[in-house]
Amino acid sequence: MSSMWQQMMGVALIAISALVASPAIDRPALVPTVFIPGGDIAAADDASPAFTPDGNTVYFMRGTEGGAVVMASHRVDGHWSSPVVAPFSGRWRDGDPAMAPDGSFLVFASNRPVEKNGAALDAVRKGQRLVGQGMNLWRVERQGDGWSEPMRLPDAVNTCTSTFAPSIAADRSVYYIGCAPDGVLRPLRTVYQNGQYQAPYVVAVGDKDAQIRDVAIAPDRSFMVFSIKHDPKQPYRLAIAFHTADNWSTPQDLGDTVNGGTANMGSQLGCDHRTLYFTSDRALPAPLAAAANANSNRMWKVSLAPWLARLGDRLVTAAAACSAG
């Protein structure tokens, strides 16, 4: 769960002790750069950028006084337009947009009513009901230059009222955070088969007791980036794991240069499948810091090239039309 969702919803996550992931390999010191579509440095709490296949439109989550909305910005002549509320958002608490690799649909988290004309979705955590603070996954289909009406994913996917942080593979399967059979929030995968999403299974990455959030899956499922907490008192850190013949490799921490601030969440991949976008409260560069709100979550980007070199010829090819933000 992104730190923004935690702050706005006040959802008490289960504190779980976990084995520490393997230390960071000595990689070149790639320094993340801030990503601010529209250039509004004063805007606060932006997260989860999801790009169209050509990289020229981005949808992202913006925190508001009333909760959160999905925003959209377009790149024209090399410049990002001022973000506007996405046509399918604006009434309910929406966030965590994720784009299908081919751009044909988008999945997002929302507290909108399960039943038509119903009330906003409540969250139920540790026996307590949190009014209007639930999250389920919803899907919109691309229709020309617009989007369809949102459709809720089935109960088989939305197994509880804390279902969020989707990421979509090329086979249309969705990775997300939801309630596992043991009731603990874990990374799950639902396969799209015969026109329907199937019951999810737990993605076995890291130790079973690790607290993992915000999985970003590569289109070909060759690797994924996520946030992992090794100690309940420590911040979430970004790590990468690779698909192997034995499922997933041991999580590899991305190092201190990438992991700045008090939390690093909301992993997303750019349209080139090599650029990582994430959200952090890390310090802004000096020229920008003076005009910014302090302690805000902002979107950052960094190349994954040093870590992806191990894939060699297996590295998924980026779309020819892609222009990473």
Q: Which domains does the chain have, with CATH numbers?
A: 3-314 (2.120.10.30)
For 46, the token pair is 């932006």
Three-state SS string across 275-297, please? EEEEEECCCCCHHHHCCCCCCCC
Residues 197 and 190 sit within 8 Å (Cβ to Cβ): yes
- What's the pLDDT score for residue 238? 96
Which pLDDT belongs to residue 278?
96
**CA distance linking residue 60 with residue 268, whole number of Å:** 10
- Note the pLDDT of residue 224: 96
Are 285 and 31 contacting, i.e. CB atoms less than 8 angstroms apart? no
Are 238 and 276 in contact by the 8 Å Cβ rule? The answer is yes
Please state whether the predicted TM-score (pTM) of the whole model is above 0.85. yes
β-pair type (192-193, 237-244): unpaired
Amino acid 14: pLDDT: 32
**pLDDT tens string for the chain (325 positions)?**
554 555 444 433 333 233 334 444 444 558 899 999 987 776 668 999 999 999 999 999 998 777 899 999 999 988 999 999 999 999 999 999 999 999 999 999 999 999 888 899 988 877 788 888 899 999 999 999 899 999 999 999 999 999 999 999 999 999 999 999 988 899 999 999 988 999 999 999 988 778 999 999 999 999 999 999 878 888 899 999 999 888 899 999 999 999 988 889 999 999 999 999 999 988 887 777 655 566 678 899 999 988 998 777 666 666 666 777 7
- In SS3 terms, the chain reads as CCHHHHHHHCCCCCCCCCCCCECCCCCCCCCCEEECCCCCCCCCCEEEEEECCCCCEEEEEEEECCEEEEEEEEEECCEECCCEECCCCCCCCEEEEEECCCCCEEEEEECCCCCCCCCCCCEEECCEEECCCCEEEEEEEEECCEECCCEECCCCCCCCCECEEEEECCCCCEEEEEECCCCCEEEEEECEECCEECCCEECCCCCCCCEEEEEEECCCCCEEEEEEECCCCCCCEEEEEEEECCEECCCEECCCCCCCCCCEEEEEECCCCCEEEEEECCCCCHHHHCCCCCCCCEEEEEECHHHHHHHHHHCCCCCCCCCCC
Give me the pLDDT at residue 47, please: 93
> Is 316 in contact with 222 (CB distance < 8 Å)?
yes
What pLDDT sits at residue 30? 81
